[in-house]
Chains A and B, each alone.
Chain A
Amino acid sequence: MTLILGIESSCDDTAIAVVNTDRTILSNRVFSQSDLHADFGGIVPEIAARAHAERLDIVAEAALTEAGVALGDIDLVAVTSGPGLIGGVLSGVMFAKGMAAGADIPLIGVNHLAGHALTPRLTDGLEFPYLMLLVSGGHCQFLAVTGPDEFTRMGGTIDDAPGEAFDKTARLLGLSQPGGPLVQAEAESGDPKRFAFPRPLMDRPGFDMSFSGLKTALRRARDKIVEEKGGITRQDRADLCASFQQAVADVLRKKTARALTAFAAEHGATTIAVAGGVAANTAVRAGLQQAARDAGFTFTAPPLKLCTDNGAMIAWAGWERYRLGQSDDMTLAARPRWPLDKTAAPMLGSGKRGAKA
């Protein structure tokens, strides 16, 4: 038996899990910070960093207790060492170093995106190669996954991530955060055809997407209603949410269909796996499932607890690296930016911090 402690603190969840290499998850604790950020309409990096630094040990104790193991039983400490909000990543990396050094256990740094991308191997024992759509509040990309350390980015968003667009939509309509579930709930009683929101880049070849124009269109539609009536009715809000959600789902479905065709041409029709909080949206998921059926792919999505940020995926991805003979020492650095595909041309972000994706 080999046990891995996985530590994740790159965004607004302090998450630690104990995972057995036979794919059993012994514990998976997540200490959410959403209450701390609620008043600010988004995640405040300094608030996140402060909370992580003072919660990591508490969450680790809870994860070990729930798993019923002592630290001495742990064989590997895996930690997200990027990309993400640097204050949180740094706190996690330093805490992991303390744990590993104090208990004399090997340490391994994990790319947060690799954690998401390898999750289907933890949950379903999926074999390589497969197509991964990572769609969350911070990321949106298609990855051809051909090995534990082999990711080819086929395309992705050139501006906002869809989760960000859901959050902004919620903010513009007076709904609270995180916006995804609330926008979906509103959309259930709304008319998805009332507002003709744009489907950007749909006429262009390739798999790149854009979501920032969508929120501008939503704002304009909202402002127009406010100008006419002095506010918005519940039905207006539901219709705005439904029309917005439909636009996101359409873009993701059509771009996914294209990515599936291209992936199949190179690797054959295998499996498409999705991860990230937006994959939990029922309209988005229905569209992706349809695209998978049409292309003859199997569709898989990890359960929501393993789709959003968690420590189990970091533990697993750490194991995938470790069994290839890789590990890190006490000089492991935290990286705010760290594209999974080292060869692809930068798509998003540049300057001294480097490409974001």
Chain B
Amino acid sequence: MLAHAREEMSKGQAERLMPMLSDVSDGFAVDALAVCTGPGNFTGIRIAVAAARGLALSRGIPAVGVSALDSLAPLQGEALVVADARQGRLYSQLFRDGQAVNAPDMLEIDEIAQAAPQCWHIVGHRAEEVAERLASTDWREAPHADLAAIARLAAERIAAGTVERPAPLYLRPADAAVPSEAPPTLLP
């Protein structure tokens, strides 16, 4: 890794992202952009995805979206990767040798215990807690997406020619309710 920056912040990402990007990429001729598509905070993901799409268009370079779960998957072996979904829930996905085995999902911690094979290695947010439920001793706590892995996976996808425009990985529908009140009957 040639350069790297991370700042913890609960708000203000929209104001800080571009100055940080400028500092980190200063002096390098960047050939492609990789952006984390979540799952996670919707607003934060959109901030990064929208900026990446703008930069890709203006620079004429590809932008590649990589999920946080993909970035944490070990290259070898079987692993259950988990990330924070707030309100006590977790995003989770199973991987074998770095390849996804199932689709990512959002689950209660108890549901993960039922869904996952017990022998697997556990990586991510609250990994120790998940490991306890699965009676596993093989775990690694990882609170954040792995930036270097995101860049590496993006490079692999560009080489394989499988690049689409980055899009946030939401894993839950927009909070919207169909109106409860029916319109009046239209009489002939």
Contacts and interface: CB of A to CB of B under 8 A. Distances in A.
Interface of A: 39-41, 44, 46-47, 49-50, 52-54, 56-57, 60-61, 71, 86-87, 90-103, 171-174, 222, 225-226, 229-234, 236-237, 330-334
A90 B57 contact: no
Nearest to B175: A46
Nearest to B57: A57
A41 B58 CA distance: 37
Contact of B58 (A99, A230, A330): A99
Given A44-B176, A71-B57, A102-B55, A330 B165 contact: no
Given A57-B54, A232-B184, A49 B46 contact: yes
Nearest to A229: B187
List 10 tightest A-B contacts by C-beta distance, closest first: A98-B54, A102-B58, A174-B183, A231-B185, A330-B18, A46-B174, A94-B50, A98-B55, A44-B176, A103-B58
- Sort chain B's interface into a size bin: 35 or more
Given A99-B54, A103-B58, A231-B185, 6 more contacts: A46-B42, A49-B46, A56-B53, A60-B57, A91-B50, A225-B184
Interface in B1-59: 14-19, 21-22, 42-43, 46-59
A103 B55 CA distance: 8
Interface in B54-107: 54-59
A230 B187 contact: yes
Interface in B130-167: 165, 167
B186 interface: yes
A179 B100 CA distance: 46
Contact of B165 (A57, A97, A100, A171): A57
A95 B50 contact: yes
12 contacts: A40-B179, A44-B174, A53-B46, A53-B53, A53-B167, A54-B165, A60-B57, A95-B54, A99-B58, A102-B54, A174-B183, A230-B185
Interface of B: 14-19, 21-22, 42-43, 46-59, 165, 167-168, 170, 174-179, 183-188
B180 to A, nearest CB: 10
Contacts of A103: 58-59
Given A94-B54, A102-B58, A330-B18, A232 B187 contact: yes
A232 B188 CA distance: 9
A94 B186 contact: no
Given A39-B178, A330-B19, A330-B22, A61 B186 contact: no
Contacts of B49: 53-54
B132 to A, nearest CB: 34
Which of A41, A102, A172 lies at the interface centre, i.e. has the most chain B CB atoms within 10 A of its CB? A102
B18 A173 contact: no
Contacts of A231: 184-187
Contact of B53 (A57, A100, A172, A237): A57
Contacts of A47: 174, 176
Nearest to A93: B14
A99 B52 CA distance: 9
Given A54-B167, A98-B58, A102-B55, A40 B178 contact: yes
B46 A97 contact: no
A171 B179 CA distance: 9
A52 B179 CA distance: 23
Given A46-B42, A331-B15, A333-B14, A101 B55 contact: yes
A90 B50 contact: yes
B174 A57 contact: no
Which of B43, B46, B54 lies at the interface centre, i.e. has the most chain A CB atoms within 10 A of its CB? B54
B25 to A, nearest CB: 10
A90 B47 contact: yes
B15 A53 contact: no
A98 B53 contact: yes
Contacts of B58: 71, 98-103
Contact of B50 (A98, A174, A236, A333): A98
